[in-house]
Amino acid sequence: MAGLQSEKLQQAAACLAVLQAQVDAAFGQINRLCTVDGQNSLQQLDAHQQVSYELAFCVAELEAAKAMLLYADNVAAEDQLCERLALAFCAENLRSVWQRLLTYGAEAELSSHHLLKLMESEPIAGFLAEQGRVAHYASIGSELVKRGSTRMPSGLDDEKNMMRESFARFTEQVVMPQAEHIHRFDTDIPDDLIEAAAKMGCFGTCIPERFGGLMPDQRDDSLGMLVVTEELSRGSLGAAGSLITRPEIAARALLHGGTQSQKENWLPRLATGQSLAAIAITEPDYGSDVASLSLKATKVDDGWVLNGAKTWCTLAGKADLLVIIARSDPDRSKAHRGLSMFLLEKPRFDGHQFTCQCPRGGRLTGKAIATIGYRGMHSFDLSFKDYFVPDGALIGGNDGLGRGFHLAMAGLSGGRIQTAARATGVMQAALDSAISYAGDRKVFGAAVSDYQLTQVKLGRMFAALTAARQFSYAVARKMNEGAGTMEASLVKLYSCRAAEWVTREAMQIHGGMGYAEESNVSRYFVDARVLSIFEGAEETLALKVIARQLIMNAGETN
């Protein structure tokens, strides 16, 4: 982290580096523990799950803290609150990482004696004594209440800031007035909301201009998609912010592996919202274990016949296009290499169930699963009975055979940073609500926000939210350069967990009103809970994506 201008930020970076070295050492040690006869054995990793999971969170917290330091450095001249926030956040995360290492590090042969000494010696001891005091977060919390705004410099260029402003207005004028009704009565998202969002261009944020989207042709640019997603999610996770996830995943899969005619046919329709997509990966027996999926695609004369079940397919009713991953090679020993991706065109259906007869034979039925939150799009159980799709439905044509897993993963890495932005939007809504309520509500003769405990909560919530936002921007910039796949999992891990905590605290600040169905904050709480489950469940990301890669990398540097 070279080049930080302020001495305090440099000191924070030095402290993070000390604990980063411990985390790296732990990964190195797990690598050695998993090495049998000179070969790294993936089977052995499962014997170290708990420590690997904690280490993945350590890395996520350290990376979030680094993103905050770089952000504070970048916008220092615009608002002095940014540096104070970054320093308090670093102090909090140093303690959290250290706590995880102290509790679980012995599993990776870290010495608790050494860890204790690190916290008592420089640079960490001095930094925590100065920046780790309760008074810092309390003063940040109380300043937020006084300002009546959590608006901070974004660190983005003018174009993205304008995008944010126009989607913020859209959310306030169109999404927010309808969000509570959609949630309470579990209705469909009204067509006029979807049409208005489409007119704003929200479905095209991840599709290149040459295909009718908003992304430049010459390079990837995920930042616009993050800004738009966050603003829409501030209004409603289920009825607005998550509308972009499906075209994001579908477009990435098509751009990575579609034939030219598939791209020309589908991308412009997805970009304008003329066609809505749904993604059908999860099955009743296989969710995290994507390589084992079993929905059968059987080759017939001029196409394929689909048989089997999918579950949790969000927006499947209203979608015109299902993107389905299916087993096209009956040899199950081929695992993920036997999977391909198919495009199924269907009519739109409103409501909680539908039946769709294929003109060329077969039937698809869908039934929505009742959920505690994330309402509006509905997530469906799907059953495919001899459903025919033509040859042109196979993504990539013959070259796409066996590439379904690869294409799904390409799509999901975009879905993961997008989910971090969804988490940020929900956190922003929860924090705004908490600040407003804490200022209005009097307890024991004073406003809830006058109490230190509340001020610290608000300060910490604000830090978590700002870190999630800036971390996701940092990862998006990496992804724009063609890297950042593992980091997309890290930022999802961090932000989704943070959203659970922030919405929990926001609800708590509302007291009994927070638990009332009529208060928005109860919706934020149930909505936030799903974020760590989908787009890669937290445990799967921590163990099978993040820890596995870092343990393997540690082997290369041993």
Ligand X SMILES: Cc1cc2nc3c(=O)[nH]c(=O)nc-3n(C[C@H](O)[C@H](O)[C@H](O)COP(=O)(O)OP(=O)(O)OC[C@H]3O[C@@H](n4cnc5c(N)ncnc54)[C@H](O)[C@@H]3O)c2cc1C
CB of 389 closer than 8 Å to CB of 322: no
Q: How far is the CB of 535 from ligand X (least distance, A)?
A: 6
Q: Which is catalytic among the residues 535, 538, 539, 556?
A: 535
Q: How far is the CB of 373 from ligand X (least distance, A)?
A: 8
Q: How far is the CB of 108 from ligand X (least distance, A)?
A: 18
* Of 71 and 534, CB closest to ligand X: 534
Q: How far is the CB of 314 from ligand X (least distance, A)?
A: 3
How many whole angstroms from its chain centre is CA 251? Answer: 17
Among residues 396, 397, 467, 398, the alpha carbon closest in space to that of 431 is found at: 467
C-alpha to C-alpha distance for 392 and 509, rounded to whole angstroms: 54
C-alpha to C-alpha distance for 341 and 244, rounded to whole angstroms: 20
Q: How far is the CB of 384 from ligand X (least distance, A)?
A: 14
* Of 208 and 536, CB closest to ligand X: 536
C-alpha to C-alpha distance for 478 and 488, rounded to whole angstroms: 9
* Axis-axis angle for helices 520-530, 485-509 (nearest 10): 150
172 as an active site residue: the answer is no
Residue type, 45: L
* Of 102 and 309, CB closest to ligand X: 309
Residue type, 99: Q
* Of 271 and 382, CB closest to ligand X: 382
Rounded alpha-carbon distances, angstroms, from residue 23 to 53, 66, 120, 280, 546 = 12, 15, 18, 37, 13
Interface residues with ligand X (CB under 6 A) are: 49, 279-282, 287-288, 312-314, 371, 374, 379, 530, 533-534, 537-540, 543
| Cα radius of gyration rounded to whole Å, the chain | 24
Q: How far is the CB of 205 from ligand X (least distance, A)?
A: 18
What residue is closest to ligand X based on CB? 287
Among residues 462, 500, 477, the alpha carbon closest in space to that of 417 is found at: 477
* Of 438 and 547, CB closest to ligand X: 547
Residue type, 462: F
- Rounded to 5°, the CA angle 429-61-498 comes to 25
* Of 84 and 406, CB closest to ligand X: 406
CB of 508 closer than 8 Å to CB of 514: yes
Active-site residues: which are they? 535
